[in-house]
Chain A
């Protein structure tokens, strides 16, 4: 599994949000992205997910260029910005509907998934009634549903309590495999060190530093 980003630029109106990103991500690792608000972390994730068209440059997934050879990444799970689901449906129903977009998933698997993120008690509660932390947990569940090859998690532990953070961390680490790239953006440096194998530091739309967690910390 390989994801290669070459000379990626993204302009929104007059503003350059991404300025020539070059990055290669390999399967089997958890990558952490850090940087100040507005440095381009979320936009980079949107470009990888194929949600926006790059102004210049390419995103290549397993040798296939996004928006050229493939319209969307073949296997991806995302949690970008706020978890947004259908308010009038329960957590279980929301996951079931999203699963139907990707060849479906059995009810048992969905229930297992909800249990893994600590939502088994709230599976029949409507999403509109979920607390912020519960919404975030459901967002993580949706992102990892179906074991996708690329998982993008933007602030996955936002609004989650201490115990929940540990649960989510375990789930994310448990997903690490050679066939999978996990990219996590997180403001909590301590958490990032526990979670990531490599840390990418971004500033003003560019990559400032890239390396192992120890290197980034030092």
Chain B
């Protein structure tokens, strides 16, 4: 049953749209960082050198500072994490809504146990969201790796967002790939959760667009509410963005994983139990 759902996901339009959006974000960041930051920086350094001043950034730019997850200079990091819920829900998040409202569900429920379908649907949507959520990071990393050296970032170069108060700052300046790997895992967890949130929204929404945007509404609303309460450290958008880590002094790495896992578990329970009781067969 999971294979059936994954197969549907891979053949659908949504996954193509998610890949397209990820490519656009990665390409935008790549050119943005190369042209706007790197080249203007090189020109400025040359001018300073000619003027007899010591040029800033003698330490070369690192891949870890140049790809979308570590880039604090262009708008694309912000844009990526703003569009993150849409990206996660695009591949398969609306599929339950479509299955139910088109009547396709009756073919499945007449052949398979409801619980099996709901479990398979949750798993497939979670996995699709987890992968789609991190696609821009992967594409951007691969593109930037063509030009930027994967050297360890240097605190004195002042090209990094990460400082002493950042979560895992030690990791960043000693083993940056591990630092970003942890963030990739957090991103996958959050992507999976946000995609499955659309499943629960399908029970209450009358319109597919509302289902598509429901994770975005939750994500943004949570961010604003927590900012108002002075607890931005718990906002998902802050937790998953490696550039935003200096805001989150009051939460540990374990706490970050726990928070998103708790959200994902709640989304599962709502979807599974309402889905099991529901008899909306068109």
Contacts and interface: CB of A to CB of B under 8 A. Distances in A.
Q: Do A and B come from one complex?
A: yes
Interface of A: 46, 49-53, 71-73, 76, 78, 80-82, 84-89, 93, 97-98, 100-102, 142
B4 A84 contact: no
Q: Which 9 residue pairs across A and B have the least CB separation, nearest first?
A: A84-B103, A71-B113, A49-B110, A84-B102, A51-B281, A101-B111, A52-B279, A84-B104, A78-B110
Contacts of A49: 106, 109-110
B4 to A, nearest CB: 6
Interface of B: 1, 3-4, 7-8, 11-13, 102-104, 106-114, 279, 281-282
B8 A86 contact: yes
Nearest to A78: B110
B7 A97 contact: yes
Given A97-B4, A97-B7, A100-B4, A51 B113 contact: no
Contacts of B102: 84, 87
Contact of B112 (A82, A84, A101): A101
Contacts of A100: 3-4, 7
Nearest to A100: B4
A78 B13 CA distance: 27
Could you tell me the dominant secondary structure of chain A's interface residues? loop
A101 B4 contact: yes
30 contacts: A49-B106, A49-B110, A51-B109, A51-B110, A52-B279, A71-B113, A71-B114, A72-B109, A72-B110, A72-B112, A72-B113, A73-B110, A76-B111, A78-B106, A78-B110, A81-B103, A81-B106, A81-B282, A82-B103, A82-B282, A84-B104, A84-B107, A84-B282, A88-B13, A98-B111, A100-B3, A100-B7, A101-B107, A101-B108, A101-B112
Contacts of B109: 49-51, 72
A136 B96 CA distance: 23
A50 B110 CA distance: 6
B4 A76 contact: no
B98 to A, nearest CB: 8
A102 B1 CA distance: 10
A147 to B, nearest CB: 14
B279 A89 contact: no
B110 A76 contact: yes
Contacts of A73: 110
Contacts of B106: 46, 49, 51, 78, 80-81, 84
B166 to A, nearest CB: 44
Tell me which of B7, B13, B106, B114 has the highest count of chain A C-beta atoms within 10 A of its own C-beta: B106
